[in-house]
Amino acid sequence: MEYDEDARWDKPATLSTYLTHKDISEASSGSLIGSPDSKRYDSPVLKLIGESKQKHYRKVCMPLTTEKWKERWSKMCLLPSESSEEDKELAAKTAEKWRLNPAFERGEVTITRLDEAEGIIVMISDWLELDAADDWVRHDAEIALKQELAYAAYLNVHTAILPAPRNRDHVASYARMVNSCLTKYPYICLSIRLPIYNPSAFHPTSPTPVSPFPDSSISSSAGTPSLIISESEGTAHSSRGSVNATWEMWDLIRSMCEYNIKLTLTLDLSPALPTTLGVLSKWAAESVRHIYLPASTFIANAKGYPVLPKPTQQFIRDSMIHRPTIILAGVSEGQHSKGGEVAYSQYVRHLEKTSPAVMTLRKEGTVENFAQGYQDYLQAPLQPLMDNLPSITYQTFEQDPVKYMQYEEAMYRAFLDHPKDQKIVVCVAGAGRGPLVARCFKALARSQRKATVIAVEKNPNALVTLQERHAKEWSSHDFHLVFGDMRLVDVPEKADILVSELLGSFGDNELSPECLDGAMRFLKPSGISIPSSYTAHLAPLSSSKLYNEARSTKQEKSMETPYVVMFQAVNILSGTKATADGRCGPQVQECWEFEHPRRDALVNDQGLPFTNSHNARSAKLRFYIPHAGILHGLAGYFEAVLYGNIGLSIHPHRKDQVSKDMLSWFPLFFPFKEPLYLPSNSELQVSIWRLTSDRQVWYEWHAESFITIPSRASVSEELTGQSLSPSFSGNSSFSSMASPLIDPKELAYLDVNRLSIPDNDGGEYDTVKIGHTSLHNPGGRSSWIGL
Amino acid sequence: MEYDEDARWDKPATLSTYLTHKDISEASSGSLIGSPDSKRYDSPVLKLIGESKQKHYRKVCMPLTTEKWKERWSKMCLLPSESSEEDKELAAKTAEKWRLNPAFERGEVTITRLDEAEGIIVMISDWLELDAADDWVRHDAEIALKQELAYAAYLNVHTAILPAPRNRDHVASYARMVNSCLTKYPYICLSIRLPIYNPSAFHPTSPTPVSPFPDSSISSSAGTPSLIISESEGTAHSSRGSVNATWEMWDLIRSMCEYNIKLTLTLDLSPALPTTLGVLSKWAAESVRHIYLPASTFIANAKGYPVLPKPTQQFIRDSMIHRPTIILAGVSEGQHSKGGEVAYSQYVRHLEKTSPAVMTLRKEGTVENFAQGYQDYLQAPLQPLMDNLPSITYQTFEQDPVKYMQYEEAMYRAFLDHPKDQKIVVCVAGAGRGPLVARCFKALARSQRKATVIAVEKNPNALVTLQERHAKEWSSHDFHLVFGDMRLVDVPEKADILVSELLGSFGDNELSPECLDGAMRFLKPSGISIPSSYTAHLAPLSSSKLYNEARSTKQEKSMETPYVVMFQAVNILSGTKATADGRCGPQVQECWEFEHPRRDALVNDQGLPFTNSHNARSAKLRFYIPHAGILHGLAGYFEAVLYGNIGLSIHPHRKDQVSKDMLSWFPLFFPFKEPLYLPSNSELQVSIWRLTSDRQVWYEWHAESFITIPSRASVSEELTGQSLSPSFSGNSSFSSMASPLIDPKELAYLDVNRLSIPDNDGGEYDTVKIGHTSLHNPGGRSSWIGL
Q: How confident is the model at residue B244 (pLDDT cuts 50, 70, 90)?
A: confident
pLDDT digits (tens, 9 = 90+) for A727-778: 333 333 333 333 444 333 433 333 333 344 444 444 567 789 999 999 999 9
pLDDT digits (tens, 9 = 90+) for B245-264: 889 999 999 999 999 999 99
Q: What is the pLDDT of residue A372?
A: 86
CA A412 to chain B, closest CA, distance in angstroms equals 37
A686 touches chain B (CB under 8 A): no
pLDDT digits (tens, 9 = 90+) for A539-576: 999 999 999 999 988 777 888 999 999 999 999 999 98
Q: What is the pLDDT of residue A724?
A: 30
pLDDT digits (tens, 9 = 90+) for B380-422: 888 888 888 899 999 989 999 899 999 999 999 999 999 999 9
Q: How confident is the model at residue A373 (pLDDT cuts 50, 70, 90)?
A: confident
Average pLDDT estimate for B157-178? 96
Average pLDDT estimate for A235-242? 34
Residues of A marked as binding for S-adenosyl-L-methionine?
Answer: 394, 403-404, 457, 485-486
Q: Do B719 and A213 touch (CB under 8 A)?
A: no
Q: Which residues of A touch B719 (CB under 8 A)?
A: 274, 276
Between CA B403 and CA B413, with CA B409 as vertex, the angle to 5 degrees is: 150
Q: Which residues of A are catalytic?
A: 501, 510
Q: What is the pLDDT of residue B83?
A: 80
pLDDT digits (tens, 9 = 90+) for A327-345: 999 999 889 989 899 999 9
Measure the CA–CA gap between A138 and A762, rounded to whole angstroms: 50
Q: What is the pLDDT of residue B296?
A: 94
Q: What is the dihedral of CA B379, B385, B386, B388, to 10 degrees?
A: 80
B114 touches chain A (CB under 8 A): no
Q: What is the pLDDT of residue B7?
A: 47
The one catalytic residue in B286, B408, B510, B764 is B510
B365: left (phi over 0), alpha (psi -120 to 50) or beta: left
Between CA A722 and CA A725, with CA A723 as vertex, the angle to 5 degrees is: 140
B169 touches chain A (CB under 8 A): yes
Q: Do A745 and B577 touch (CB under 8 A)?
A: yes
Average pLDDT estimate for A362-383? 88
To the query of whether residue B501 is one of the catalytic residues in this protein, the response is: yes
CA A167 to chain B, closest CA, distance in angstroms equals 13
HEC profile of B266-321: EEECCCCCCCCHHHHHHHHHCCEEEEEEEHHHCEECCCCCEECCHHHHHHHHHHHH
Q: What is the pLDDT of residue A504?
A: 96
Average pLDDT estimate for B461-465? 95
pLDDT digits (tens, 9 = 90+) for A709-726: 776 543 333 333 333 333
Residue B209 has pLDDT above 70, yes or no: no
Q: Do A100 and B617 touch (CB under 8 A)?
A: no
Measure the CA–CA gap between B577 and B696, rounded to whole angstroms: 36
Percent of all residues in chain B with a pLDDT value above 70, rounded to a whole number: 83
B91 touches chain A (CB under 8 A): no
Residue B198 has pLDDT above 90, yes or no: no
**Is B310 annotated as a binding-site member?**
no
In chain B, what are the helix, strand and coil shares in percent, each to the nearest 5?
35, 25, 40
Q: What is the pLDDT of residue A654?
A: 96
A97 touches chain B (CB under 8 A): yes
Beta bridge partners of A192: A162, A265
Q: What is the pLDDT of residue B222?
A: 31
Average pLDDT estimate for B746-769? 50
- Nearest to residue B538, comparing CAs of B585, B577, B580, B581? B585
A557 touches chain B (CB under 8 A): no
Q: Which residues contact A294 (CB under 8 A, 6 or more apart)?
A: A18, A232, A233, A234, A269, A270, A328, A329, A330
HEC profile of A639-703: EEEEECCEEEECCCCCHHHHHCCCCCCCCEEEEEEEEEEECCCEEEEEEEEEEECCCEEEEEEEE
- Nearest to residue B706, comparing CAs of A751, A741, A712, A738? A741
Residue B223 has pLDDT above 50, yes or no: no
To the query of whether residue B510 is one of the catalytic residues in this protein, the response is: yes
Measure the CA–CA gap between B438 and A243, rounded to whole angstroms: 65
What is the pairing mode between strands B306-307 and B325-329? unpaired
Q: What is the pLDDT of residue A36?
A: 58
DSSP letters of A233-249?
TSSS----S-TTHHHHH
The answer to whether residues A546 and A287 touch, using CB atoms and an 8 Å cutoff, is: no
> From the candidates B753, B768, B774, which should be mutated to test the interface with A, based on the most A CB atoms within 10 A?
B753
Residue A206 has pLDDT above 70, yes or no: no
Mean of all residue pLDDT scores within chain A: 84
- Nearest to residue B520, comparing CAs of B601, B615, B617? B601
Residue A152 has pLDDT above 70, yes or no: yes
pLDDT digits (tens, 9 = 90+) for B470-524: 999 999 999 999 999 999 999 999 999 999 999 999 999 999 999 999 999 999 9
Most confident of A4-13, B272-281, B422-431: B422-431
Lowest mean pLDDT among A42-46, A162-166, A215-219, B529-533: A215-219
- Nearest to residue A316, comparing CAs of A350, A359, A340, A339? A350
Higher pLDDT, A372 or A179: A179
Which among A135, A575, A702 is the nearest to B746, CB-wise? Answer: A575
Q: Do A212 and B727 touch (CB under 8 A)?
A: yes
pLDDT digits (tens, 9 = 90+) for B598-630: 987 889 989 999 999 999 999 999 999 999 999
Which among A276, A674, A716 is the nearest to B748, CB-wise? Answer: A276
Beta bridge partners of B16: B59, B327
Measure the CA–CA gap between A458 and A431, rounded to whole angstroms: 9
pLDDT digits (tens, 9 = 90+) for B10-66: 567 899 999 999 999 888 876 545 555 556 788 999 999 999 999 999 999 999 999
Q: How confident is the model at residue A371 (pLDDT cuts 50, 70, 90)?
A: confident
Beta bridge partners of B595: B533
For A280-296, letters b (16+ CB in 10 Å) and e give bbbbbbbbbbbbbbbbb
**Is B85 annotated as a binding-site member?**
no
Count CB atoms within 10 A of the CB of residue A548. Answer: 17
Q: How confident is the model at residue A272 (pLDDT cuts 50, 70, 90)?
A: confident
Lowest mean pLDDT among A86-90, B58-62, B207-211, B612-616: B207-211
Q: How many angstroms separate the most distant Cα atoms in chain A?
A: 111
Q: Which residues of B touch A745 (CB under 8 A)?
A: 577
Which among B257, B600, B739 is the nearest to A681, CB-wise? Answer: B739
Q: Which residues contact A594 (CB under 8 A, 6 or more apart)?
A: A507, A508, A512, A513, A533, A534, A535, A615
DSSP letters of B112-168?
-SHHHHTTEEEEP-TT--TT-SSHHHHHHHHHHHHHHHHHHHHTT--EEEEPPP--G
Residue B241 has pLDDT above 90, yes or no: no
**Is B394 annotated as a binding-site member?**
yes
- Which residue of chain A comes nearest to B758, CA vs CA? A212
Q: Which residues of A touch B241 (CB under 8 A)?
A: 755
Q: What is the pLDDT of residue B508?
A: 96
Measure the CA–CA gap between A502 and A496, rounded to whole angstroms: 19
Most confident of A270-274, A319-323, A674-678, B1-5: A674-678
- Nearest to residue B566, comparing CAs of B668, B670, B669, B666? B666
Amino acid in the structure at residue B57: Y
Count CB atoms within 10 A of the CB of residue B186. Answer: 9
Q: Which residues of B touch A241 (CB under 8 A)?
A: 755
Q: Which residues of A touch B711 (CB under 8 A)?
A: none
Mean of all residue pLDDT scores within chain B: 84
Average pLDDT estimate for B174-192? 96
Between CA A498 and CA A505, with CA A503 as vertex, the angle to 5 degrees is: 165
Q: Do B179 and A613 touch (CB under 8 A)?
A: no
Q: Is A269 helix (H, G, I), strand (E, B) or coil?
A: coil
Q: What is the pLDDT of residue B764?
A: 66
What is the pairing mode between strands A589-595 and A629-643? unpaired
Q: Which residues of A touch B746 (CB under 8 A)?
A: 575, 626
The answer to whether residues B359 and B760 touch, using CB atoms and an 8 Å cutoff, is: no
Q: What is the pLDDT of residue A473?
A: 96
The answer to whether residues A383 and A573 touch, using CB atoms and an 8 Å cutoff, is: no
Which among A179, A279, A760 is the nearest to B749, CB-wise? Answer: A279
- Nearest to residue A227, comparing CAs of A125, A86, A348, A331? A125
HEC profile of B353-399: HCCHHHHHHHCCCCHHHHCCCCECCCECCCCCCCCCCCHHHHHHHHC
Q: Do B778 and A179 touch (CB under 8 A)?
A: yes
Lowest mean pLDDT among A367-381, B454-468, B663-677: A367-381
The answer to whether residues A665 and A638 touch, using CB atoms and an 8 Å cutoff, is: yes
Measure the CA–CA gap between B754 and A628, rounded to whole angstroms: 9
Q: How many angstroms separate the most distant Cα atoms in chain B?
A: 111
pLDDT digits (tens, 9 = 90+) for A577-627: 888 888 899 999 999 999 999 987 889 989 999 999 999 999 999 999 999
Percent of all residues in chain A with a pLDDT value above 70, rounded to a whole number: 83
Q: What is the pLDDT of residue B210?
A: 28
CA A141 to chain B, closest CA, distance in angstroms equals 13
> From the candidates A242, A610, A753, which should be mutated to test the interface with B, based on the most B CB atoms within 10 A?
A753
Q: Do A613 and B96 touch (CB under 8 A)?
A: yes
Average pLDDT estimate for B679-696? 93
Q: Which residues of B touch A778 (CB under 8 A)?
A: 176, 179-180, 183
Between CA A626 and CA A633, with CA A632 as vertex, the angle to 5 degrees is: 95
Measure the CA–CA gap between A782 and B17, rounded to whole angstroms: 43
Beta bridge partners of A60: A17, A120
A693 touches chain B (CB under 8 A): no
Lowest mean pLDDT among A106-120, A642-656, B764-778: B764-778
pLDDT digits (tens, 9 = 90+) for B415-453: 999 999 999 999 999 999 999 999 999 999 999 999 999
Lowest mean pLDDT among A244-248, B132-136, B671-675, B686-690: A244-248
Contacts of A96-100 with CB under 8 Å at 24 or more apart are: A96/B602, A96/B609, A96/B610, A96/B611, A96/B613, A97/B610, A98/A143, A99/A140, A99/A143, A99/B610, A99/B611, A99/B613, A100/B610, A100/B611
Q: Do B704 and A172 touch (CB under 8 A)?
A: yes
Count CB atoms within 10 A of the CB of residue A528. Answer: 18
Q: Which of residues 581-620 of B touch A (CB under 8 A)?
A: 581, 583-584, 600, 602, 609-611, 613, 616-618, 620
CA A707 to chain B, closest CA, distance in angstroms equals 9
Q: What is the pLDDT of residue B36?
A: 58
Higher pLDDT, B742 or A366: A366
pLDDT digits (tens, 9 = 90+) for A487-532: 999 999 999 999 999 999 999 999 999 999 999 999 999 999 999 9
> ipTM for the complex?
0.86
Residue B8 has pLDDT above 50, yes or no: no
